Amino acid sequence: MPKIEVKNITGKVLKDLSLSVGDKEILALVGPNGAGKTTLLNVIAGLTDYSGEVLFDGMNMDRVPPHRRGVGYLFQDLALFPHMNVAANIAYGLRIRRYAPAVIGERVDELMNALHIAKLRDRFPYNLSGGEKQRVAIARAIAPFQKILLLDEPTANLDAQTAKYFRSELSVFLRRLEITTVFVIHDLLGAEEMADRIAIMHQGSIEQVAAPGDILFRPRTRVVSEFIGMPNILNCDECTVLSTGLVEVRSGSMRLVLPYEGTAMSKLAISPHDIYISDSKPPGPALNRYTGTITEIIPLRTVVRVKVLVDGNELLAELSRETFDEMKLAAGSNVHLIVKLRRLRYFEV
């Protein structure tokens, strides 16, 4: 039985939306602004009016007020209680539910240690950094032994580097807690890093719900395909594990080197904006660098997409209008391509 089921939800921007989330599953809601992602979280938490049905473990929740739904919610603005210190913020839900002081103390310590915030115990929110606030807010949302956790942009307040680290840490943490999680994120890469399944939302509806690989390699609608940026899909004909923790993949006569994570792969996805184009040979080692011939130029509103034929594979690259104009590119020109190693995405077999 699914842990969370929403059926034919209509309200605010949502249009007859249905979705189910499995027990202990981590599901990402991805989509452009105004798609209704946060509204859907509010519906699950019971914080907004809706028509339709929300079920937890098969039980109808429509008439259950937010404080009896047992749903932890990390709001995008975190909203730590400014008049309470870190420990009191985390303990709030446990106190409200009248847990014994010993249980409260133990739970607060456990969460503070797990999220590495034990040293912040007596600090007040105005005295915390963005990352620290994030950890405290997550600890507070989970503390009263919630079975469901909703996270609205859990890494929105962090810089890119910290966000990446925090996402992987959070993913491990949530799996260890075995808590059913629905989280909103605007970045597809972030969603892939954390989620078991991804739901792509658009204008109040769900376009596709699938495992990250399926979304990437088998987009079901044009909206999904456009949202994920029409990636270049390459078949992996041969994989050779290199001794340095890297794997060399052969696709046709193209060879790519990418991080090896101990899994074989059948396909590779490269987003068009992860391929750099240069009109002169770039300096440095020849790793993941190719030369090719432009076959087609597709001008869009702010960017230009360029199709380049490389060793029998046709790759789609994206560059800004300014860069494109500067390089004076035309169909038939020879160009150099650099594939960003860290942004390669691959599909496990």
Distances from the Cα of 41 to the Cα of 171, 261, 278, 283, angstroms: 19, 33, 44, 48
State in angstroms the smallest separation of the CB of 83 from other proteins.
5
Closest distance between other proteins and the C-beta of residue 150, in Å?
Answer: 8
Question: Does the CA dihedral 123-124-128-132 come out positive or negative?
Answer: positive
- Residue 64 lies near other proteins (rule: CB under 8 A): no
Note whether 140 binds other proteins by CB under 8 A.
yes
Which range, of 7-15, 73-81, 109-117, 177-185, touches other proteins by CB under 8 A?
73-81
> x-or-dash pattern for other proteins, window 78-117, by CB under 8 A?
-x-xxx--------xx--xx--------------------
User: Using CB under 8 A, which of 32, 53, 75, 203 touches other proteins?
Assistant: 75
The single residue among 16, 62, 77, 348 that binds other proteins, judged by CB under 8 A, is 77
Whichever of 127 and 240 has its CB closer to other proteins, that residue is: 127
Residue 45 within binding range of other proteins, rule CB under 8 A: yes
Structure-derived torsion over alpha carbons of residues 246, 251, 255, 261, reported in degrees to the nearest 10: -10
Q: Which residue, 133 or 197, is less far from other proteins as judged by CB?
A: 133
Q: Which amino acid is it at 180?
A: T
Question: Mask 115-134, x = binds other proteins (CB under 8 A)?
Answer: -----------x--------
C-alpha distance from residue 291 to each of 19, 220, 346 (Å): 45, 32, 22
Q: Does the footprint of other proteins cover residue 312 (CB under 8 A)?
A: no
Q: Does 49 bind other proteins (CB under 8 A)?
A: no
Nearer to other proteins, 126 or 244 (CB): 126
To which H or E segment does residue 86 belong?
helix 86-96
47 binds other proteins (CB under 8 A): yes
CA 166 to chain centre: 12
31 binds other proteins (CB under 8 A): no
Q: How far is CA 318 from CA 156, 213, 305, 341, 345, in A?
A: 25, 22, 4, 16, 17
Q: How many residues touch other proteins (CB under 8 A)?
A: 25
The least distance separating other proteins from the CB of residue 74, rounded to whole angstroms, comes to 9
* Cα–Cα distance for residue pair 311/252, rounded to 1 Å: 7
- Considering only residues 36, 144, 212, 219, which one is a binding residue for other proteins as defined by CB under 8 A? 144
2 binds other proteins (CB under 8 A): no
Q: Which amino acid is at 143?
A: A
Give me the phi and psi of 332, to 5 degrees please.
Answer: 95, -15
Residue 158 three-state SS: coil
Q: Of 71 and 117, which has the nearer Cβ to other proteins?
A: 71
C-alpha distances in Å from residue 324, one per residue of 35, 45, 89, 102, 282: 32, 47, 52, 65, 17
User: Cα–Cα distance between 45 and 54 in angstroms, integer?
Assistant: 10
State how far the alpha carbon of 292 is from the alpha carbons of 251, 252, 338, in Å. 15, 14, 11
Contact residues for other proteins (CB under 8 A)? 45, 47, 65-69, 71-73, 75, 77, 79, 81-83, 92-93, 96-97, 126, 140-141, 143-144
